[in-house]
Every structure is written in structure tokens, then in C-alpha cells.
């Protein structure tokens, strides 16, 4: 167990939840969940500011949630990354979501200090797998406000898997992390192999959570009351809100009670009163079988998502080594049993679904060497050794690399040696090289903290004191670089996306691409701004992705006017926590721009959302009519799902119109999801056409590659052909399109070697000369091209043609959809 904490590193992990938060610490061998001042491991994510400006956090604040809702805020995590400030009218104060989250984090930080006597300065905080960049940035800001000097963010499913994997004794295999929160369901497929943890894939349902299970019981109770008492209670009737609230509360309690007993009577906090009717106090008994019937369709939906995830990664359910349950609703035995039966996979037992995420975050802090202890006063006890080694290692023989730093008048060591504290392993003397450095592999004992003593001498047997004199390496499961959860790219004027980082890219990461401006920017003009929108999402079209920031090059800041067709070298960087920085270098101006504006989740204006909802409903109607006409039952059933999702969105929209920003944000995100899902359905509808296109593309590209391609291109084409076959077999529209794009590009690569190709492409581009964005430049290029053609200089002709393409006009509608991007 953890003890004498100040002598050993302390790693802190925090699960900053929507409803509850938790903090855990890890000492290199075991995790410990920290209890708060009330003695609980869960701290409600609730903040209250009373009339005198006093702040309370957690359970003391939650007690006021119903009595004084105006001055007590919960679920602010959903508003992270928005510009919205929440007001506390009694005190006249207001606070942003990061400020409120900071109060919860500060409270958890104090709990660690109370229990361990150390005020932590670093921590790992978990965030949902699909958090957008602005939400991550807001979480990091909250941590800073809470007093943390350094913080890393970690996706929740990785945290859960890391915690589960740490304690697991079994060997390699694939796992399913089944995370059912209050309002969302996330499924993650992970793999452990030789001690390393890898995220294989992720899927989820934003419309399904534990609260739907409660509503299923409420709906059953409403039906029973109607049958026995002839009273019709309606969930969407404002006058019935109080009765519905009592039913909901009773349903929640009954659901929990049925985990331990076979039958329970719903207990209401008061009589159910409906306008114009006699108050009733129904006695409703519910048994496990009934509860199971109520929640079965919902569980089935989570299973559909899980199976879809497994299928997309060629994993049979039977191949799963275990299922890890996360989130309060997964405590329900019925649910666990049903999921395990349906997937024929064992449940990872002995794990607390409520605190697993915090424990995993703490373990991750160790792998990132984020010791939470404040730095003590600097006392040198010898020559400083600058050492690099993994704080946690899956490998049993990792490297320790070191370099002696020259100090004041201190004799430098010639040799160093490392010895494991149990006496079972010794490095022998390691000679320092010309850079005063050494590198050696050390041997670890499995699944424990391994301490090594470091000694040094002058080569003649005289001891040279060094600092540090010991290091500790923990052997166990690791995940080194957190993967990016959503693809990040730049929206182009064509409404396409230039991907910079694909989903799964290890962080930190940095990439650069060169873009071309499509319009000129006038020096000194305040109206003239070149926009480079940065988007996040898995779609080829920018308008289906989320805008997370815009890098702007304003006319007021440039040294001289920038003509259309200028190069812009854009570099985007992401740190380990997924925080973004961007820099645009304009070589012709010799200037760079770094200001990324609007790193905020877009506002959810109810009127705009209502208009989008209307559009999507019409789209569903049109698609359904066509599906019936063409006899496509699969499409009809998929549309039923989209329609039900739109119903949920309409409910959220209603709440948003009543001033609930949280519901508005949920509606905004979910509208995008349904929009993208309908896009997929539209494409699926075109499957026969897509198959025909596949045949045409593969025939054309295959011919080009066979005649003009190199051996390697031919080998690569074979690979792509295999990918096309797999995508056709799985009827995977996106994958088939991706493979066909690759095949086309490969075909074009070969085709460009044909001596007739570039003259033809040049003629085509030159025929659009009149519409070029920079006519004099385009005319000069055409003259240059004609000369090159006369000389039969195909390389020059290619260069000219590619430059001409950049001057051809863009489609204004596409540009509007691409967030007014000024680059291609």
C-alpha cells in the first residue's frame, strides 16, 4: 500500500466527470482512490456560490441542486469549450465552465493534500474519447486555474483499459471497454501484446446512456398507471413535470435495488398530482424480468455498436479476452450478464466501474513521469547525471542513457555502474564516452518497482559522488504515446479537407503542408483577411467536420499585398494533451502568423439548430420515399434510426429554446452526427453505381500501371486491389471510396509518364485562361508552356500546368461550405 508518500513518487489521476469526479494516486505498484472530506470516493461535479459569495463543491453543493438551482450548477462539463458564462444571481457572480471545473479540481487536489500531506502540482486528467479540441483546451485551462503547474489529458477508454490491464494477470489479447455513462455510450477495442497496450478502434452512440434505462422504467410505470388507474401521465406535458420527476426518481432507485433483490415496489416521495385529477399514490411492483424487458432494446443497441466495432476490426466476439465495464449504469448485474452472454466473453471482475478511469489516469501519470510532488530545494550531492529512462516499462530490459554534466571544480567520473536493489543484477563498470555519456540495458523484475543504485568512480577506484544516486523503473503495462481521437486537418476552398493528422496519430505530433492562396489580400485593409480554417472530424468534406479554430492572415498585419496563388507553408502542432498550435509562413512576405482565432465550440443558436433540424427531417423524408420506391429495406430501417435520433434532438432543441445551453450543445453535436450518418446512407444508396465505378477505375488504373508503372507500383496496385475486394465484400462505402482514390492516384502516376499526357492537360488548362484569378500571370504561364511544348520539355510543361491549375477559379458555394477557406 501507499505509505511514506514523500519518499516515493506520487502520480495523480483525475476523472473529471459530468456527474461525478474522482481522484486516485499511484505509487508505482498500487493505486489508491482518495476519499473526500465526506469520506466518499466520488465527488459530485456540482458547484454552489451562495449570496455571500461562499463556494461549496461536491456533496454539500449537490444538496442545493433542487432547492436553489439558480445558484447551484452541475453538468458544466458539457459546456466546456463554449464561450458561455454561468451566472450565480444571489451573489451577482458569474463563472465560465473551466472556472467551475477548476473548483472541482481544486477540491480534489485538496483531498489528496489532506490525505497524503502533499499538494500535487501535476496530474493526468481524463477526457471523453471524442472530446473536441476546444473542450480539451478548456480542461487544461481549468487544471491551471486549480493550481496544477503541468497537466496531461488522457482519453477515458485508455485510462480504463490501463487500470484494468495493470491488475490483470492474463496474457495478450483484445478487450472491449464498455463505457455506459449517463447520456452516452462508448465502446473501445484495445489490444495488449507483449506488455503494450494499443487502441485498435472506437465506436459509440451519443443518444444512449444510463438515463435512457431510467426512462424505459418510467414509460413502463406510466403504462401500468394508465391501466390500473385510468390516468394518463405524459412526459412531454409541462403540467405533469412534477409527477414525471417523482416517477423518474423512483425508477432510478428501483433499478439499483433490483441489482440485489428479485422484486421491488416503486417508492414515490409524494403523491402523483395531475391538474384537474385526484392525486394518486400507486403501488407498483417491478421484478427483474420486467426490468430486463424494459431495458433489453437499449442493451441491444449497445451490443449493436459493440458488434459493429468488432466487425470493423475483423474481431469475432468470441476472440475477446475480456470485457471491462465502466460507468455507473454498468453496475446493473442484468446488464453485465446480458452483455457477457451476447458477446460470449468473460467479464473483467474486481474492478470498480466508478473509479477505474481515475485509477488509469494515475497509472498513466507514471508512464509520463509526471511526479506530482512539488520540487524541493535544490541540494547537489555530487556531479549531476542527466538520465533518461522510462518511469514505467513494459520491456523487461529497457535502456538507461545518461550524461555527466560538468560542474564547478568537481572531478568528473570516468565510469558509472547500476545495481538493482535486490542484488540480482549489476551492470558492471560502464566507461563514459567522449561526450561523457553512457547507455546500457537494465534488467527488471516483472510487475514491480525496480530501484537501481548508481555509483561512479574516476577510473582508478576512487568513488565520485553523483546525483541522483538511485532511480526507479516500474515494470508493467504501458501505452507510450496517446493517440489522437479525431482526424485534424485544414478546410480547403473546395470544401475538401487536407488531413494533417489522421485519427490514431501518436501525440505529440507536428506536420507541415504548403497551400496556395485563392485570393489576394490587400495590405492595410481591415476587411481583407485570409482564413485558414482548422477542422476536426472523419469526413472528406469540410462542412461535415467541426471547425475548431481559424488561423487568420489579416491585411492589416502584412508587410505588402499578397497576390492570389501565393504559397503558405502551414505547420500544425499538437502536444501530448491534444492542444493545438498553428503557424503559417508566407515565404514571399517573409512573415509568419500564429494567431489561431475562435478556438471555441461554436455557439448553439436554437434558431439555426431548428432550421438544420427541419432540413434533416426533409432529407430523411426524401430518402425514405426513394427507399420505398426502389425497395431498399435496409435503408428504410437505417432511416428509422435517424428519425428516432432526430426526435431526441428535437427534445434537446426544446430545452435549448427554454435556455438550456447544455441541451443546445448536445443538439448541435448530434445534428452533425445525423447529417454525416445521412451522408453515409446516401452513399450506401449509391452502392450499385459505386461498384460500377470500382470496375471502371480498377480497369483503367490497372491498365496504366501495367503499361507504364514500375514494378513497385505494380506491387502496390496489387495491395490496393486486395483492399478494394475487402471493401466490396464488407460493403464498406467509405473504405471502398478510399481505396478507389488510391487506385486512381496510382493510375495517374503511371499515366503522367505517357508522353502525350502533359501536352493534353496543358491544352485543357490553357482553355480556361479567361477565368484565371490572376490573368497576367496565367497568360505568362501559357506562353511558357507553349515554349516548353515546342521544346518537348515534358518536365517543364508539367510544372507550368500545375501552376496554371492553381490559378483556376474555385466554386463559391464549396468555399462557403469550407468555412470561407482562403487556401487550396
Partner 1 sequence: MSDAAERWARNPLYVLELPISATRAEIERAGQKWLAMLELDLAAARLYATPLGPRARTPELVREAMAELREPDKRALHELWWLAPEDGPAPAPDDDGSPPDADAALGLDALTAAGWRRGA
8 Å CB contact between 456 and 466: yes
By CB under 8 A, residue 746 contacts partner 1: yes
By CB under 8 A, residue 283 contacts partner 1: no
CB of 222 vs partner 1, minimal distance in Å: 50
By CB under 8 A, residue 386 contacts partner 1: yes
CB of 777 vs partner 1, minimal distance in Å: 25
Distance CA 72, CA 64 (A): 6
CB of 754 vs partner 1, minimal distance in Å: 13
Cis peptide preceding 195, ω within 30 of 0: no
Task: Report the residue number, 51 or 405, with the smaller CB distance to partner 1.
Answer: 405
Longest Cα–Cα distance in the chain: 100
Point out which span in 298-306, 543-551, 658-666, 705-713 binds partner 1 (CB under 8 A).
705-713
Distance CA 647, CA 667 (A): 11
Comparing C-alpha atoms, which of 607, 597, 604 is closest to residue 669? 604
Select the residue interacting with partner 1 from 403, 624, 651, 734 (CB under 8 A). Answer: 403
By CB under 8 A, residue 748 contacts partner 1: yes
Point out which span in 133-141, 245-253, 398-406, 652-660 binds partner 1 (CB under 8 A).
398-406
Point out which span in 66-74, 296-304, 333-341, 746-754 binds partner 1 (CB under 8 A).
746-754
By CB under 8 A, residue 397 contacts partner 1: yes
C-alpha cell at 182: 449517463
8 Å CB contact between 12 and 372: yes
Select the residue interacting with partner 1 from 462, 710, 771, 792 (CB under 8 A). Answer: 710
CB-count exposure of residue 187 (10 Å: 0-12, 13-18, 19+): buried
At how many degrees (to 10) do helices 687-708 and 711-729 cross?
170
Distance CA 32, CA 802 (A): 61
8 Å CB contact between 255 and 298: no
Can you list the positions of beta strands (E) in 230-381? 263-265, 285-287, 320-326
CB of 417 vs partner 1, minimal distance in Å: 18
Point out which span in 112-120, 362-370, 408-416, 436-444 binds partner 1 (CB under 8 A).
436-444
Select the residue interacting with partner 1 from 31, 206, 394, 485 (CB under 8 A). Answer: 394
Q: What strand order describes the sheet that includes 320-326?
A: 196-205, 185-193, 173-180, 320-326
CB of 28 vs partner 1, minimal distance in Å: 18
By CB under 8 A, residue 201 contacts partner 1: no
Select the residue interacting with partner 1 from 69, 85, 437, 706 (CB under 8 A). Answer: 437
Point out which span in 124-132, 505-513, 556-564, 615-623 binds partner 1 (CB under 8 A).
505-513
By CB under 8 A, residue 274 contacts partner 1: no
Comparing C-alpha atoms, which of 315, 313, 258 is closest to residue 288? 258
- Which 8-state DSSP code applies to residue 409? S
By CB under 8 A, residue 707 contacts partner 1: no
How would DSSP label each residue in 601-651? PPP--HHHHHHHHHHHHHHHHHHHHHHHHHT-HHHHHHHHHHHHHHHHHHH
Distance CA 457, CA 463 (A): 4
At how many degrees (to 10) do helices 661-685 and 687-708 cross?
70
Residues 145-174 within binding reach of partner 1 (CB under 8 A) = none
Select the residue interacting with partner 1 from 9, 210, 402, 476 (CB under 8 A). Answer: 402
Count of residues in contact with partner 1, rule CB under 8 A: 53
Select the residue interacting with partner 1 from 401, 406, 608, 625 (CB under 8 A). Answer: 401
8 Å CB contact between 417 and 408: no
Point out which span in 64-72, 350-358, 456-464, 497-505 binds partner 1 (CB under 8 A).
497-505
Residues 716-745 within binding reach of partner 1 (CB under 8 A) = 716, 719-720, 741-742, 745
Q: Residue 374 in 3-state DSSP?
A: coil
By CB under 8 A, residue 439 contacts partner 1: yes
- Residues ≥6 apart with Cβ < 8 Å to 354: 20, 22, 41, 42, 327, 328, 331
Torsion sign (Cα): 728, 733, 738, 740: positive
8 Å CB contact between 382 and 405: no
By CB under 8 A, residue 457 contacts partner 1: no
CB of 175 vs partner 1, minimal distance in Å: 16
CB of 455 vs partner 1, minimal distance in Å: 20
Point out which span in 235-243, 269-277, 504-512, 785-793 binds partner 1 (CB under 8 A).
504-512
Task: Report the residue number, 65 or 721, with the smaller CB distance to partner 1.
Answer: 721
By CB under 8 A, residue 752 contacts partner 1: yes
Select the residue interacting with partner 1 from 91, 145, 196, 529 (CB under 8 A). Answer: 196
CA distances from 312 to 188, 347, 488, 502 (A): 12, 22, 22, 17
Task: Report the residue number, 223 or 369, with the smaller CB distance to partner 1.
Answer: 369
8 Å CB contact between 330 and 336: yes
Task: Report the residue number, 35 or 798, with the smaller CB distance to partner 1.
Answer: 798
By CB under 8 A, residue 592 contacts partner 1: no
By CB under 8 A, residue 388 contacts partner 1: yes
Task: Report the residue number, 48 or 803, with the smaller CB distance to partner 1.
Answer: 803
- Residues ≥6 apart with Cβ < 8 Å to 59: 36, 38, 40, 43, 44
Task: Report the residue number, 433 or 691, with the smaller CB distance to partner 1.
Answer: 433
CA distances from 457 to 380, 408, 567 (A): 17, 17, 57
Comparing C-alpha atoms, which of 167, 135, 165, 166 is closest to residue 153? 135
By CB under 8 A, residue 418 contacts partner 1: no
- Which 8-state DSSP code applies to residue 78? G
By CB under 8 A, residue 228 contacts partner 1: no
Task: Report the residue number, 103 or 174, with the smaller CB distance to partner 1.
Answer: 174
By CB under 8 A, residue 618 contacts partner 1: no
By CB under 8 A, residue 384 contacts partner 1: no
Residue with cell 515546342: 790
Comparing C-alpha atoms, which of 113, 43, 53, 111 is closest to residue 74? 43
By CB under 8 A, residue 571 contacts partner 1: yes
By CB under 8 A, residue 508 contacts partner 1: yes
Write each residue from 460 to 489 as x if it is in contact with partner 1 (CB under 8 A), else as -, in one continuous string: --------------------xx-x------
Select the residue interacting with partner 1 from 292, 567, 713, 725 (CB under 8 A). Answer: 713
Residue with cell 434558431: 607
Select the residue interacting with partner 1 from 64, 215, 389, 425 (CB under 8 A). Answer: 389
Write each residue from 779 to 808 as x if it is in contact with partner 1 (CB under 8 A), else as -, in one continuous string: ------------------------------
The binding site for partner 1 (CB under 8 A) comprises 193-196, 198, 386, 388-390, 393-395, 397-403, 435, 437, 439, 441, 480-481, 483, 499, 504-506, 508-513, 571, 709-713, 715-716, 719-720, 741-742, 745-746, 748-749, 752
Amino acid at each position: 500500500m501507499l505509505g511514506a508518500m514523500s519518499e516515493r513518487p506520487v502520480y495523480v489521476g483525475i476523472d473529471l466527470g459530468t456527474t461525478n469526479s474522482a481522484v486516485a494516486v499511484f505509487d508505482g505498484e498500487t493505486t489508491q482512490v482518495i476519499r473526500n472530506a465526506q469520506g466518499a470516493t466520488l465527488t459530485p461535479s456540482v458547484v454552489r456560490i451562495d449570496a455571500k459569495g461562499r463556494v461549496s463543491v461536491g456533496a454539500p453543493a449537490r444538496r442545493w441542486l433542487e432547492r436553489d438551482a439558480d445558484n447551484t450548477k452541475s453538468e458544466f462539463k458539457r459546456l466546456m469549450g463554449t464561450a458561455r458564462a454561468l451566472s450565480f444571481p444571489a451573489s451577482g457572480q458569474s463563472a465560465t465552465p473551466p472556472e467551475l471545473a477548476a473548483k472541482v479540481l481544486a477540491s480534489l487536489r485538496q483531498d489528496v493534500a489532506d490525505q497524503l500531506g502533499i499538494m500535487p502540482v501535476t496530474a493526468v486528467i481524463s477526457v471523453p474519447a471524442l472530446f473536441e479540441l476546444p473542450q480539451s483546451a478548456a480542461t487544461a485551462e481549468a487544471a491551471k486555474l486549480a493550481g496544477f503547474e503541468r497537466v496531461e489529458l488522457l482519453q477515458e477508454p485508455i485510462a480504463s483499459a490501463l487500470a484494468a490491464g495493470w491488475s490483470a494477470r492474463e496474457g495478450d489479447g483484445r478487450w472491449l471497454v464498455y463505457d455506459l455513462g449517463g447520456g452516452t455510450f462508448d465502446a473501445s477495442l484495445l489490444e495488449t501484446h507483449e506488455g503494450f497496450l494499443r487502441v485498435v478502434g472506437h465506436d459509440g452512440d451519443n443518444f444512449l446512456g444510463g438515463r435512457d434505462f431510467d426512462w424505459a422504467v418510467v414509460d413502463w410505470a406510466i403504462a401500468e398507471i394508465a391501466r390500473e388507474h385510468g390516468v394518463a401521465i405524459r412526459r412531454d406535458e409541462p403540467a405533469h413535470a412534477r409527477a414525471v420527476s417523482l416517477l423518474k426518481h423512483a425508477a432510478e432507485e428501483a433499478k439499483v435495488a433490483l441489482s440485489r433483490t428479485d422484486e421491488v415496489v416503486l417508492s414515490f416521495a409524494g403523491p402523483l398530482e395531475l391538474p384537474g385529477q385526484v392525486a394518486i399514490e400507486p403501488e407498483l411492483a417491478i421484478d427483474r424480468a420486467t426490468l430486463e424487458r424494459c431495458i433489453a432494446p437499449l442493451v441491444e443497441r449497445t451490443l449493436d455498436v459493440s458488434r459493429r466495432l468488432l466487425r470493423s476490426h475483423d474481431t469475432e466476439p468470441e476472440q475477446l479476452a475480456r470485457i471491462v465495464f465502466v460507468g455507473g449504469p454498468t453496475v446493473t448485474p442484468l446488464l453485465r450478464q446480458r452483455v457477457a452472454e451476447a458477446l460470449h466473453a468473460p467479464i473483467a471482475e474486481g474492478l470498480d466501474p466508478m473509479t477505474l478511469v481515475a485509477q488509469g489516469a494515475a497509472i498513466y501519470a507514471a508512464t509520463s513521469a509526471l511526479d506530482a510532488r512539488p520540487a524541493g530545494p535544490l541540494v547537489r550531492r555530487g556531479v549531476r547525471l542527466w538520465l533518461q529512462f522510462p518511469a514505467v516499462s513494459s520491456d523487461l530490459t529497457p535502456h538507461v542513457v545518461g550524461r555527466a554534466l560538468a560542474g564547478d571544480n568537481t572531478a568528473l567520473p570516468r565510469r558509472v555502474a547500476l545495481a538493482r536493489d535486490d542484488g540480482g543484477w549489476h551492470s558492471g563498470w560502464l566507461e563514459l564516452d567522449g561526450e561523457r555519456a553512457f547507455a546500457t540495458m537494465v534488467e527488471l523484475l516483472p510487475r514491480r518497482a525496480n530501484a537501481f543504485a548508481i555509483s561512479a568512480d574516476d577510473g582508478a577506484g576512487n568513488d565520485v559522488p553523483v546525483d541522483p544516486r538511485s532511480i526507479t523503473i516500474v515494470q508493467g503495462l504501458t501505452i507510450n504515446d496517446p493517440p489522437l481521437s479525431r482526424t485534424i486537418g485544414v478546410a480547403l476552398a473546395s470544401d475538401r479537407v487536407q488531413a494533417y493528422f489522421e485519427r490514431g496519430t501518436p501525440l505529440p505530433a507536428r506536420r507541415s503542408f504548403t497551400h496556395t492562396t485563392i485570393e489576394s489580400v490587400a495590405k492595410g485593409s481591415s476587411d481583407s483577411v485570409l482564413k485558414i480554417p482548422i477542422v476536426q472530424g472523419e469526413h472528406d468534406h469540410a462542412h461535415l467536420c467541426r471547425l475548431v479554430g481559424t488561423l487568420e492572415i489579416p491585411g492589416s498585419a502584412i508587410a505588402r499585398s499578397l497576390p492570389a496563388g501565393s504559397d503558405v507553408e502551414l505547420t500544425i502542432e499538437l502536444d501530448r494533451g491534444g492542444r493545438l498550435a498553428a503557424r503559417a509562413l508566407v515565404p514571399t512576405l517573409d512573415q509568419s502568423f500564429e494567431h489561431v482565432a475562435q478556438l471555441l465550440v461554436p455557439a448553439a443558436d436554437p434558431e439555426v439548430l431548428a432550421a438544420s433540424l427541419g432540413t434533416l427531417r426533409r432529407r430523411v423524408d426524401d430518402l425514405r420515399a426513394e427507399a420505398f420506391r426502389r425497395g431498399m429495406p435496409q435503408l428504410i430501417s437505417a432511416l428509422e434510426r435517424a428519425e428516432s435520433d432526430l426526435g431526441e434532438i428535437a427534445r434537446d432543441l426544446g430545452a435549448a429554446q427554454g435556455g438550456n445551453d447544455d441541451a443546445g450543445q448536445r443538439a448541435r453535436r448530434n445534428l452533425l452526427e445525423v447529417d454525416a450518418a445521412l451522408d453515409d446512407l446516401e452513399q450506401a444508396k449509391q452502392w450499385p453505381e459505386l461498384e460500377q465505378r470500382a470496375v471502371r477505375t480498377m480497369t483503367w488504373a490497372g491498365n496504366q500501371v501495367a503499361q507504364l508503372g514500375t514494378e513497385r507500383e505494380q506491387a502496390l496496385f496489387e495491395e490496393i486491389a486486395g483492399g478494394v475486394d475487402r471493401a466490396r465484400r464488407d460493403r464498406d462505402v467509405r473504405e471502398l471510396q478510399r481505396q478507389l482514390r488510391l487506385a486512381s492516384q496510382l493510375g495517374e502516376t503511371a499515366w503522367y509518364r505517357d508522353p502525350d499526357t502533359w501536352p493534353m492537360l496543358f491544352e485543357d488548362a490553357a482553355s480556361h485562361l479567361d477565368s484565371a484569378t490572376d490573368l497576367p500571370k496565367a497568360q505568362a504561364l501559357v506562353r511558357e508552356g507553349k515554349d516548353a511544348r515546342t521544346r518537348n520539355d515534358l518536365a517543364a510543361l508539367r510544372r507550368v500546368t500545375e501552376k496554371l491549375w492553381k490559378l483556376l477559379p474555385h466554386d463559391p458555394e464549396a468555399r462557403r461550405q469550407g468555412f470561407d477557406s482562403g487556401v487550396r
